Structure 1
């Protein structure tokens, strides 16, 4: 099945470059290009893409608000935020808005195509050099209210969510809890459903916001 991709970036050369790279895969097709956030929202409405590559900084409506508006209308669409630097101070806000991850614009061609396919399949990603310091540094939020937002989880599911937020893979979680990777995945899936969040990125954010995981507890990779 072909994955439909919408490109949203205010630089025509960047859009042309991504179009060329994505065009090398038979499984990916670019269905539109937007130079502003407003245009991205309008094109998303008409083309109904599977994945949007969204520039975080655009004139007028930025990528954060465009992400939020697209997902209100098209919750099944996956959005990858594009940024020049992996320490962009707006990244956390974009993830909170519902983005499934982000990539720097220096991403390798093969990694870009893989990222689109991974996100289209319902997974989440952060570019390889990014750790939980991004979430910690820019998660300006009220004091956590541990428990309230996680009351629907079983004790085991809470433990699994905590380990996800600490950056462990399904296999690492399984090893730590002495369960199978399939069981670990099942716990994660149930937690996602109960908490009504989209993916692992949103799970990590919720773990921070409820105080289940505190800043400074380690590093996290969600590749």
Structure 2
């Protein structure tokens, strides 16, 4: 994620912010744009699970390291809200960029992971993506996820990839890493409309229905 894309939404997205540092929560709320509406905050595992169930927001911004609970931090919060699957999605937000932290919270069920070094506008864009069912990763972190979730399906990947053109394969890899359409267009020197066309073709050929499914497909096959 390099620069904000200003993804439009018609109504504010309700979010809960979970972080054990009150100063960071205050700063984050000030940095988020008008597409976001913070409806709740929490600082511990137990408090987070309670507040999330109280508000059932579309998206939770979740720190990875939190006090309380059984010591599982953000991953424990996601697990404790498993009954809200399909209602609430989790976007991890942490100072840590370690593979262990990234993988643990994604295994628990989070839809994305961005570091606290990104701007408020980039976080806002990531929230919009996650709310829409897509994945959102700081680009270099996506590799950790792709490496960690490799399965036996790798053996079948070549046959499926043969369905894609060289350009579609390039687009697919960037989208799977969490790049926005605008970022893909800039990276490949093509128009955003062309990116949209390629993504539609990739989803159709691989029999997938969303960018989130595409990311999971790539993760399972360890495709970078």
CA contact (8 A) 2:48 2:77 kept: yes
The CA deviation at 1:45 is 1.5
CA offsets, 1:99-135, max 9 Å, x none? 221111122122222222232233222124x154423
| Stretch moving more, 199-208 or 79-88 | 199-208
* Counterparts of 1:76 and 1:93, CA distance in 2: 21
User: In structure 2, do the counterparts of structure 1 residues 192 and 3 end up closer, same or farther at CA, with 3 Å as the change threshold?
Assistant: farther
- Aligned partner of 1:144 among 141, 152, 165: 152
Residue-by-residue CA offset, 1:16-71 (whole Å, 9 max, x unaligned): 2212222xx33211010011223222222120111110011112241113223324
- 2:219 — aligned with what? 205
Check the 8 A contact 1:100/1:199 in 2, yes or no: no
Q: How does 1:44-59 map to 2 (within 5 A)?
A: 44-59=52-67
Larger relative helix fraction: 2
Coordinate RMSD, CA, aligned: 3.9
Distance in 1, matches of 2:49 and 2:157, equals: 30
Query: Aligned match of 2:144 in 125, 134, 138?
Result: 134
Residues 71 and 148 of structure 1: is their aligned pair in 2 closer, same or farther, counting only changes over 3 Å? Answer: farther
User: What runs of 5+ residues in structure 2 fail to find an aligned partner?
Assistant: 1-10
- Partner residue, 1:101: 112
- Is the CA contact (8 Å cut-off) linking 1:8 and 1:33 kept in structure 2? yes
Q: Within the alignment, does 1:167 sit opposite 2:181 as a pair?
A: no
- 2:85 counterpart residue number: 74
Distance 1:15 1:201, change over 3 A: farther
Paired residues of 2:13 and 2:58 also in contact (CA < 8 A): yes
How many Å apart are 1:195 and its aligned residue?
A: 8.8
Question: What TM-score comes out, normalization by structure 1 length?
Answer: 0.68
SS of equivalent to 1:134 = helix
Question: Are residues 1:185 and 2:194 paired?
Answer: no
Cα deviation code 1:123-162 (max 9, x no counterpart) = 222124x15442366x277x635468999x79637x9997
8 A Cα contact 2:203 2:210, kept in partner:
no
Alignment length, in residue pairs? Answer: 201
